[in-house]
Amino acid sequence: MTQPQKSSKPSMGERLDADHVFLFECAPGISCFTQCCRDVTIVLTPYDVLRLKNALGITSGEFLDKYTLIIPKGNLLIPMAVLKMREDNKNCQLVTKDGCTVYSDRPWACRMYPLSVNEDGTFSTIADPARCMGLSQKVPSRISEWLIGQGVPVYEEMNDLFTQITSPLKAQNLDIDNPQVKKMTFMALYNIDAFREFIFKSSFMDKFVVEPLTIEKIKRSDTELLKFAFDWIKFGLFGQKLFAVKKS
C-alpha cells in the first residue's frame, strides 16, 4: 500500500505536485490576517472581472472605472487590468479588517494564495514564511483537494480559454495599430455588459448566424457570454471559422 504523504511546510520556490500535503490556514485571529491584501499587484482575468462586478452588483464598466487600473503593455493588443489599491493606506478596496467582502467571488490569484502554478504544472509557495503566519498553522491540506475547496477549477477552465487568445498573440507578435480593434477586443474581454449591448443592440445578429440555443445561453449567463466573446475574438483576430456570415 502507498503510504500517505506527511504534511510539511514547503520552502519558497520548492516544486510540489498535486498530491503534496502542505500546512496552511488563513483565518481571523491569525496575526497577519488580511496583510497579504495590502500593497499587492493582483492582475485580473476577464473571468475575475465578471465575477467581481456581479458580486458587487454593478456593471463591468463601473467596476473597471472604480476598482481597476488599466496598464498598457507596450505594443501588445491586450492591456493588463490590475486591482486598484486604496490611495491612503494601499489596502485592497474590497477588504476590511474582518476579511474579504467578496470572498466567494475573489480573484484567481487570491484563491491560489499561498501557492502559484509553475509552467510544468507543479506548484510553489509564494508566501514568505517569516511574514505569513498561515504557513505555521497545523492544518494539513492536499493540494489537489485544497484547490477544489478554493473553487479554483472553474477559474482555470475560463483562464485556459483566455490563454487560447493570449498565447497566439504572443507567438505571432501581432502589432495592431487600429484603435478600434484594440477597443473592441478589450470590451469583449473585460466589459461584458458593453459587449452584450454590442451583440443584441447592434446589427450583429443580422449579420451572423447564431443558433437559438446559443442566443438563450448568452442572454441568461455572463459566463456563456464571455465564452462567446472568446470565440468572437478568435474569429476576428485569427480567422478561426467559429462564425458564419448570413447570406444576403
Residue 7 CB neighbour total at 10 angstroms: 15
Mean pLDDT, consecutive 10-residue segments, the chain of 248 residues?
Answer: 50 85 93 93 97 98 98 86 95 95 97 94 91 92 96 97 91 69 94 97 96 97 98 94 91
Q: Residue 79: what residue type?
A: P
**CA–CA separation, 114 and 81 (whole Å):** 21
Residue 248: predicted pLDDT: 74
Q: What is the pLDDT of residue 7?
A: 52
Burial classification of residue 79, based on how many CB atoms lie within 10 Å of its CB (0-12 exposed, 13-18 middle, 19 or more buried): middle
DSSP states of the chain: -PPPPPPB-PPBT--B-TT-EEE----TTSTTTTGGGBS---EEPHHHHHHHHHHHTS-HHHHHHHHEEEE--TT-SS-EEEEPBPTTT-BBTTEETTEETTGGG--HHHHHTTEEE-TTS-EEE-S-TTT-GGGGS--EEEHHHHHHHTTHHHHHHHHHHHHHHHHHHHHHT-----HHHHHHHHHHHH-HHHHHHHHHHSSHHHHEE--HHHHHHHHH-HHHHHHHHHHHHHHHHH--S--EEPP-
Three cell numbers, residue 83:
486591482
**Number of neighbours of residue 206 by Cβ within 10 angstroms:** 7
| pLDDT (0 to 100) of residue 1 | 38
User: How high is the pLDDT of residue 117?
Assistant: 94
**Predicted local confidence at residue 22, as pLDDT:** 93
Q: Tell me: the pLDDT tens digits for 126-161? A: 998 889 999 999 999 999 999 999 999 999 999 999
Instruction: Please state the φ and ψ torsions of residue 244, each to the nearest 5 degrees.
Output: -115, 135
Residue 4 has what pLDDT? 45
Query: Phi, psi (5° rounding) for residue 208?
Result: -120, 150
Using CA atoms, how far residue 15 sits from 8, 125, 126, 151, in Å, is 13, 8, 11, 22
Nearest CA-CA partner of 225 in 77, 43, 71, 49 = 49
